[in-house]
Structure 1
């Protein structure tokens, strides 16, 4: 029967669901600030990759301990929250365990939820210990400042509290069922929370109802608040992991996207029948000249920006980066974090000043330094290591293209090579007509 508590619940549900939708719309807007790129090809391969990497967690278990614990949390989070549907229905209509009519299947569901809940709780405790006492190097790099550290710890603590509330709610419910309390139907199996019987068994029915209702409210409001925390946290990957893997590149690692005007120049250079003195085609009226590379987030394509929001800050990319390992400034994780931070800043500027506002800042130089970018060996180790197929290398290469081709900034060692390529079509300091002289001499 619907009462005042149900009305309060409906208001809270609508408000927090609406806030979440609003936050997601802002992130979607930010992602679509990027340039267009077509990732609609080879759908079968994309679904297979998503099933293997995002659903099957294939790249997580490369590191077995962390991978298995993450699977506990991942599966537990997804499956346990199936019960949220029942909680929401109960909260709206004033019912209690509305799906109890499922009988034995309901017992299996609740029992499996409880087992998963304790596994999630234990995994979160282990992760907290590993992160704060184990002092794993990749979790304490220079880019892991106070907010990233606090964000990671906070999410683990929230999950522990939510699972504790869930088991406490079930434990009190189980005892109330045993005592024959009104409104508490005999339903569900409680392999974990029934162990709380010695704690709850001697309490009065009114006290138990207070515990059960308090845990119920804490659990569902906590989930709704947690949902609204995700868009401002690195844990938004919970929602973006699947589309991010689906839209990942399918071309071989190391194959870069060529700029059309550069490709045309190279083709002209390599074509023996081409007229090198022919005038280039006239640009269309009003056409904006194509920019080489990227300076700010709007110059990247939307998948790069989705990558930034999908980053879990796990540091697996940085831990295998040869440049980082040898002490250089480059950290692929920092590249993704900086891209996300800059994109969020651009989004706020749009909200406050309009879409044409220029704050005088850019991703390149203000967030990411040339020293970081030139340290990259383009080995693709970071791309291969990422559990959700993020590609920091695309961003690095585009930022380097801008520095080299727009700002004419490159390491001194590169200058002679670039000059030779421009003049001779090869990195060597002699013309193409002399390339076979070594063979003639032998």
Structure 2
């Protein structure tokens, strides 16, 4: 009963802390402006199933896709085993699913073990790719000590959890062979049966190993759950809603601003009666000027660097990194949320996403080619944030680069971006 009570306290504390921290992230996301993303639900479910569940956009890099698939399947499927561990912990039972599932139970445990081994292998390869091969896309100005460490911590934690799981099963298997205590004959152990050869023969020692690994495995999972809100690995939860609320219109398509649309319609038609629209800022200066979907994108970012690796501006040595745009947005909205908690809603820290986090040089380096949004495996849209911040610079500050100001003037005077009159537009086609 003491062990059950202790497990209940740990489980309740873990769920409470996770709910509290996840609630803060939800609050931070909802600080963004509203945007309609509830239309065409059937198409949205299809997108989520294809991109988040089916990982269709991962396949552009086959090796990484296969290894990630092993980890993904391990995470999803082995959670069935975690459910059994939790029930056993609460009720003091042992392998409670073995009797109702019968022979299927052995197949499940055997599958879990094979997956655990594949997860171990994949994590080791990913660690080598990051720290030995040092792939270029895992580096960059934004990849400071914490993001690099975070990625390594995740992989090491998964290795430890899978090792504990297999060692627990190995001890359990050996105790079953010895008919010791309550360790009933249940399960199939294609991996841990070999691992059990390395364990001691003493039943008492085996029981200590089995119980220690059991506690380490489940407490490790609960601790990892509470690490997620502080980590890029939170994408394992947000990838599903983020892809559901993906943009269904063509990527890169600009949205019209109602206030500007009203002005244009009034200029074209003096009889037009504009709608009453609450005055607001043109574009985005800080994170609260962005939409909640932009902020969800920021929290969903996996920091994989696929966007930056295909960005033509970044490839040619310019300052822009789409990954940095997303990481800066996430850091800034987290800072705003922390200020709310500490100082209240009226507090102003005199900082903004523009200039304090993202420089104008970065923004104007973007070619709006949309390569970053095409490359993202979870449908994140850095381009939307970039164009909204550009819109603020142009429409609120009138500080566009000289080349753009020249083009704006030409459009206004000549109805074309070139400096000659529209009447002379086809002169090049005339023959002597």
**Normalised TM-score (structure 2):** 0.96
Q: Deviations over 1:333-388 (max 9, x none)?
A: 00000000000000000000111211100001100000000000000000000000
Equivalent residue number for residue 293 of structure 1: 283
For the residue of structure 2 that corresponds to 1:292, the secondary structure is coil
How many pairs were matched up?
430
Q: How does 1:208-287 map to 2 (within 5 A)?
A: 208-267=206-265, 271=268, 274-275=269-270
Q: Does 2:47 correspond to 1:49? A: yes
Equivalent residue number for residue 82 of structure 1: 80
The structure 2 residue matched to 1:71, chosen from 69, 84, 98, is 69
* Cα shift at 1:212: 0.2
Q: Does 2:369 correspond to 1:379? A: yes
CA distance change for structure 1 residues 425 and 350 in 2, over 3 Å: closer, same or farther?
A: farther
Q: How does 1:135-150 map to 2 (within 5 A)?
A: 135-150=134-149
**Normalised TM-score (structure 1):** 0.93
Structure 1 Cα separation of the partners of residues 80 and 189 of structure 2: 17
CA distance change for structure 1 residues 111 and 363 in 2, over 3 Å: closer, same or farther?
A: same
Q: How does 1:148-227 map to 2 (within 5 A)?
A: 148-200=147-199, 202-227=200-225
For the residue of structure 2 that corresponds to 1:81, the secondary structure is helix
RMSD: 1.9
Q: Does 2:21 correspond to 1:23? A: yes
Gaps of 5+ in 1: none
**8 Å contact 2:252–2:384 — kept in the other structure?**
no
Q: Does 2:10 correspond to 1:12? A: yes
Equivalent residue number for residue 358 of structure 2: 368
Q: Deviations over 1:43-89 (max 9, x none)?
A: 11111111111111111111011110000000101101111111001
Structure 2 Cα separation of the partners of residues 68 and 350 of structure 1: 42
Equivalent residue number for residue 333 of structure 1: 323
Q: Does 2:302 correspond to 1:312? A: yes
Q: Does 2:341 correspond to 1:342? A: no
Structure 1 Cα separation of the partners of residues 373 and 244 of structure 2: 15
Structure 2 Cα separation of the partners of residues 124 and 159 of structure 1: 7
Q: Deviations over 1:389-419 (max 9, x none)?
A: 0000000000000011101111111111112
* Cα shift at 1:263: 3.0
* Cα shift at 1:437: 7.9
CA distance change for structure 1 residues 99 and 327 in 2, over 3 Å: closer, same or farther?
A: same
CA distance change for structure 1 residues 155 and 440 in 2, over 3 Å: closer, same or farther?
A: closer
Gaps of 5+ in 2: none
* Cα shift at 1:199: 1.2
**8 Å contact 2:48–2:244 — kept in the other structure?**
yes
For the residue of structure 1 that corresponds to 2:242, the secondary structure is helix
Structure 2 Cα separation of the partners of residues 385 and 214 of structure 1: 43
* Cα shift at 1:424: 4.7
